[in-house]
């Protein structure tokens, strides 16, 4: 590094380091399972009881339906004030996944009930699913150790324990 610094100057050195990190990020993104879209209100509110699920995991219609009934959010009251709800809905819509062909006409609300999720996770054994370390299929962090950072890549995945 000292050689590079003296020969090319520190700014070029920084450029090389910058390119290197870009390549690393590129590899992770090529895996298709690292989500970078973020918003402070989404992170704080959606992340207070569970991992803030990346917007790309559901289509916009699903997020809209879900945000309309936060007072009945999978068995709990998750109400937030109207202003914050509007901000989060806009963020979710802007970064939502593309609508995939689903079996029902109404929007799917549970990520675990989407066809792509079931396809992605169909190799997981019943024994692993029953592991006490897995609270439910919605407990991403049981296996995806960096889920809270949006990283669902194979690199950061491990068996639950």
Q: Whose structure tokens read 């989407």?
A: 114
Q: Name the token pair of 100.
A: 């995939």
* Of positions 21, 81, 103, 123, contacts another protein by CB under 8 A: 81
43 counts as binding another protein under rule CB under 8 A: no
Token representation of residue 66 = 């879900």
Crossing angle (nearest 10°) for helices 60-68 and 82-94 = 170
CA neighbor of 63 nearest in space, from 100, 84, 89: 89
Give the H or E element holding residue 94: helix 82-94
User: What's the Cα-to-Cα distance from 48 to each of 42, 73, 105, 133, rounded to whole Å?
Assistant: 10, 13, 30, 20
Q: What is the C-alpha separation between 33 and 126, in angstroms, rounded?
A: 24
Which span sits near another protein by CB under 8 A: 3-11, 45-53, 97-105, 112-120?
Answer: 45-53
Position among 13, 28, 50, 65 found at the interface with another protein (CB under 8 A): 50
Which region among 3-11, 22-30, 75-83, 96-104 touches another protein (by CB under 8 A)? 75-83
139 binds another protein (CB under 8 A): yes
Helices (H) and strands (E) in the chain, counts: 7, 0
**Minimum distance, C-beta of residue 21 to another protein, in the bound complex (Å):** 31
Q: Is 93 in the site for another protein (CB under 8 A)?
A: no
Q: Taking contact as CB under 8 A, which single stretch among the options 10-18, 26-34, 70-78, 150-158 is the one that binds another protein?
A: 70-78
Contact segment (CB under 8 A) with another protein among 31-39, 78-86, 98-106, 150-158 equals: 78-86
Does position 80 interact with another protein (CB under 8 A)? The reply is: yes
Residues contributing to the site for another protein (CB under 8 A): 48-51, 71, 75-81, 135-136, 138-139
């Amino acid at each position: 590094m000292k050689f590079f610094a003296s020969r090319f100057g520190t700014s070029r050195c920084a450029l090389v380091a910058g390119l290197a990190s870009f390549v690393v990020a590129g590899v992770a993104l090529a895996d298709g399972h690292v989500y970078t879209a973020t918003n402070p209100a989404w992170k704080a509110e959606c992340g207070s009881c569970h991992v803030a699920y990346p917007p790309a995991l559901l289509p916009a219609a699903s997020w809209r339906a879900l945000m309309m009934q936060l007072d009945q959010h999978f068995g709990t009251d998750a109400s937030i004030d109207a202003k914050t709800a509007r901000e989060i809905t806009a963020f979710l819509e802007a970064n939502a996944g593309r609508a995939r062909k689903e079996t029902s006409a109404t929007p799917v609300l549970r990520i675990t009930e989407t066809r792509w999720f079931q396809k992605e996770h169909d190799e997981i054994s019943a024994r692993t699913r029953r592991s006490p370390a897995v609270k439910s299929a919605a407990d991403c962090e049981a296996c995806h150790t960096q889920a809270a950072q949006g990283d669902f890549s194979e690199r950061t995945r491990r068996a639950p324990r």
